Structure 1
């Protein structure tokens, strides 16, 4: 067995959002989310860290080519999220609050979806280990794939179920 290492790539993106739950009243949202519930949204310069875990390939000396990791992050994170309004532009957040916790979950599952679609990325030993999202310098969320997507996430969930049948 080859050594196991963890590789991480960091990217930054800007996005707007409004913390608001459709399951709460407007007054409850104002009390819970305060100024982050402003009806005209607010924005962040997010930093995301994607960490993969895998065996070092004895031929290449890599877990995964970082050029490939960069491309997967472009497809899974940058294209759908950079310079977007999370609540208006990303279907995932039209059914749930665009908290950093939910953002980390979205990034995990969307990364998995793109990663599994590319046969050459799937063929190495690399596996997604952790998604870490910095909303601010002081507010950071980590997600490691625990738990399941719920029924409201069905388009993403169905795509993943279909892909898991891939060799």
Structure 2
């Protein structure tokens, strides 16, 4: 079964080597979807409690990215590199992590399933 939860954060960045306007400082209202793939625990009836998942995601990712300058943590802060950074932060605490989706805008998204 796949469990998927949505989060959001606001952040600024620039892409220093971009040939267009993205090389300038700008911000986004990011959407993040975190997916876990695993069996339902027969004792709890869940893969993981949504609150337990949120504790990890908020601590490891949201608190560190929300209202921040992304280039301080991710120097080449493309959506692709942001997704990899998020994966790397979450995977040690969420072994059932199967996918992260990072929406930079409503219609631009990257999906990362680990290396």
Is TM > 0.5 for Structure 1 vs Structure 2? yes
Question: Is 1:139 aligned to residue 108 of structure 2?
Answer: yes
Q: Give the conservation status (yes or no) of the 8 Å contact 1:57–1:63.
A: yes
For 2:5 and 2:83, locate their aligned partners in 1 and report how far apart those are by CA, in whole Å.
15
Question: Is 1:85 aligned to residue 69 of structure 2?
Answer: yes
SS of equivalent to 1:103: helix
SS of equivalent to 2:91: helix
Change (3 A) 1:111 1:33: farther
Show the counterpart of 2:22. Answer: 36
Write out aligned runs for 1:123-134 (5 A). 127-134=96-103
Question: Is 1:106 aligned to residue 85 of structure 2?
Answer: yes
Query: Which entry has the higher C-alpha Rg, 1 or 2?
Result: 1
Provide the alpha-carbon RMSD of the alignment.
Answer: 1.3
Show the counterpart of 1:76. Answer: 60
Instruction: Specify which structure has the higher proportion of strand.
Output: 2
User: Structure 2 length normalisation: TM-score?
Assistant: 0.94
- What's the CA shift for 1:33? 3.4
For 1:87 and 1:14, locate their aligned partners in 2 and report how far apart those are by CA, in whole Å.
14
For 1:76 and 1:144, locate their aligned partners in 2 and report how far apart those are by CA, in whole Å.
18
SS of equivalent to 2:105: coil
User: Structure 1 length normalisation: TM-score?
Assistant: 0.66
Which gives a bigger RCO, structure 1 or 2 (Cα 8 Å, sep 6+)? 2
Question: Is 1:56 aligned to residue 40 of structure 2?
Answer: yes
Runs of 4+ aligned residues of structure 1 deviating over 2 Å after TM superposition are: none
Instruction: Specify which structure has the higher proportion of helix.
Output: 1
For 1:33 and 1:60, locate their aligned partners in 2 and report how far apart those are by CA, in whole Å.
51
